[in-house]
């Protein structure tokens, strides 16, 4: 098959079907990420898996910042723009249960129910201490859009959390925390 046939077939689908397919592929990307993580964790332990995951996601963040920045075509990314771009990341799009707010020069991103962590629980695994992985990802992403951007983790495993709030991140520009 060639790309022209693929494009022809995809263009025959409704917009709704294309969006559904897009989300299938986002979910599949995270399935692969999870399977790789579990394999590394099983063979080398959680610390090694976390270190590899952290490095991969930091690189992914730089790529996403560049690509989403181009897609949005904005010359400058202030907090509202950063939050708009963040909403378009693969990580955000994979979070079905999230809240995003922008007010008073800061942005907040919350995961109110984490399907990744809940899936680990179902498998009898402990919660993944994702704080450092997510911090590296979010920091690299926002700084790829604006070098003056900061990210502050308010809550993320291994921190204690409720079932209604798994992680919360605040975004601001330097010297505003």
Give tens-digit pLDDT for 106-131: 999 999 999 999 998 999 988 989 99
- Rounded distance between C-alpha atoms, residue 17 and residue 154, angstroms: 37
* Whole-angstrom distance, CA of residue 98 vs CA of residue 100: 7
pLDDT at 17 over 50: yes
* Residue predicted with more confidence, 71 or 126: 71
Quick one: which of 113, 140, 116, 110 has its CA closest to 128? Answer: 116
User: Which of 33-37, 66-70, 142-146 bottoms out in mean pLDDT, i.e. has the lowest?
Assistant: 33-37
- The CATH number of the domain holding residue 126 is 3.30.1380
In whole angstroms, give the CA distance from residue 40 to residue 126. 15
With 60 as the cut, is the pLDDT of residue 177 above it? Answer: no
pLDDT (0 to 100) of residue 175: 65
Residue 174 has pLDDT above 90, yes or no: no
pLDDT of residue 1: 52
Domain count, the chain: 1
Model pLDDT, residue 78: 95
Q: Which domain holds residue 34?
A: 3-173
Supply the pLDDT for residue 176: 53
């Amino acid at each position: 098959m060639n790309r022209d046939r693929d494009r022809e077939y995809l263009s025959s689908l409704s917009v709704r079907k294309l969006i559904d397919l897009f989300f299938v592929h986002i979910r599949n990307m995270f399935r692969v990420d999870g399977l790789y993580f579990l394999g590394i964790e099983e063979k080398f332990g959680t610390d090694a898996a976390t270190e590899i995951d952290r490095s991969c996601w930091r690189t992914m963040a730089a790529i996403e910042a560049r690509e989403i920045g181009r897609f949005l075509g904005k010359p400058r990314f202030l907090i509202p723009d950063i939050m708009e771009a963040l909403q378009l990341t693969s990580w955000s799009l994979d979070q079905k249960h999230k809240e995003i707010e922008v007010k008073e020069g800061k942005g907040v991103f919350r995961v109110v129910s984490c399907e990744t962590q809940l899936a680990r629980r179902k498998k009898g695994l402990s919660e993944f201490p994702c704080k450092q992985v997510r911090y590296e990802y979010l920091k690299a992403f926002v700084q790829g859009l604006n070098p003056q951007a900061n990210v502050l983790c308010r809550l993320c495993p291994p921190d204690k959390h409720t079932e209604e709030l798994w992680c919360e991140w605040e975004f601001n520009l330097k010297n505003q925390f």
